[in-house]
Amino acid sequence: MSYKIATRKSNLALAQTDYVIGEIKKKFGIACEKLLIETTGDKRLDVTLDKIGGKGVFVKDIEIAMLRGEAQAAVHSMKDVPFELENSFEIGAMPIREDVRDALISADGRSFGELPYGAKLGTSSHRRIAQIKALRPDIQLVPIRGNVETRIEKMYKQNLDGIILAYAGLKRLGLECKASSCFSIEEMIPAVGQGALGVEIVKGNEIAPIVKGIDNHEVRVCVEAERSFMKALNGGCHTTIGAYAALEGDRIYMLGIFEVNGRLIKKDIEGSVLEHLDLGRRLAYKIISA
């Protein structure tokens, strides 16, 4: 028995899929192989995501392959998955979450605080842009897209002082040594689901019990709380939004950020793990009521 797992073609996507394939092999003794797919989001690097359909551009082509039976599951970075999936699909597992922080790679190894006045940083994320401006209004932000290696290359080609990336991706690629510094979660609230892997399946298909067998309940609870927050605010690539949920025993602590009428509002909330979805909604209400 063997299954095909769909993935994007970047080195990071391949590393993430190899992890999932390894977990299925270790737990169930079942071999899987990768199906490589170039998504619309990977093809169109000349424009920002909100111009070509938002986060779904990394998922849609892969979902079509699953519906055709070309693959039985797919591995995504959860921060790339829209908060609403079509009815045919579900996230069968969220097996792991890496360090959620954002990292700075600077051209000369300087930390964020050491960057010169008016330094140029590359990022196309509304969330990162807004929080960088709040930390240092002097910084110039330059749009930049592509996989990790492409962005590092563009940093040098475009003479940027640095770029901002998810630290999780650097760690999964063994490139964490390239990070000049990391932002604290309070300084730079992460994207919803940042650092977490999701395994998407067609509901009820034969691989479902296997995929669900590698789910990590603690990761799922935290990411679902964040996605509940995003859904309540109708958040996506076109909005300035971030959230982070952490388990502390049977309690969840959540921190969220959202731009309301040009104001960047940050709030937190705490509650029982049993009400994690409601907690996300309540945090959203707390922010829009501020």
Catalytic hit among 80, 99, 102, 161: 80
Residue range 165-189: average pLDDT? 96
> Is 105 a residue whose pLDDT tops 60?
yes
3-class DSSP state of 267: strand
**pLDDT at residue 56, as a whole number:** 67
Distance between CA atoms of residues 175 and 151, nearest Å: 13
* Phi and psi, residue 60, nearest 5°: -55, -50
**pLDDT at residue 53, as a whole number:** 47
> Is 47 a residue whose pLDDT tops 90?
no
Residue range 78-93: average pLDDT? 93
- DSSP states of 213-256 as a string? TT--HHHHHHHHHHHHHHHHTT-STTS-EEEEEEEETTEEEEEE
> Is 64 a residue whose pLDDT tops 50?
yes
CB 245 within 8 A of CB 220: no
Q: Of 59-68, 133-142, 212-221, give the lowest mean pLDDT range.
A: 59-68
**pLDDT at residue 122, as a whole number:** 96
Q: At what angle do helices 148-157 and 11-28 cross, to 10 degrees?
A: 160
**pLDDT at residue 41, as a whole number:** 57
Digit-coded pLDDT (tens) for 256-286: 999 998 899 999 999 999 999 999 999 999 9
Q: How confident is the model at residue 52 (pLDDT cuts 50, 70, 90)?
A: very low
3-class DSSP state of 56: helix
Distance between CA atoms of residues 97 and 112, nearest Å: 25
Residue range 139-146: average pLDDT? 92
Query: Which of 105, 98, 81 has its CA nearest to residue 15?
Result: 98
**pLDDT at residue 237, as a whole number:** 65
**pLDDT at residue 200, as a whole number:** 97
Domains of the chain with CATH codes: 1-97+195-215 (3.40.190.10), 102-182 (3.40.190.10), 217-290 (3.30.160.40)
Residue range 180-193: average pLDDT? 97
Query: What proportion of the chain, given as a percentage, has pLDDT over 70?
Result: 94
Q: Of 44-48, 94-98, 184-188, give the lowest mean pLDDT range.
A: 44-48
Residue range 151-170: average pLDDT? 96
pTM of the predicted protein model: 0.91
Q: Is residue 80 annotated as a catalytic residue, yes or no?
A: yes
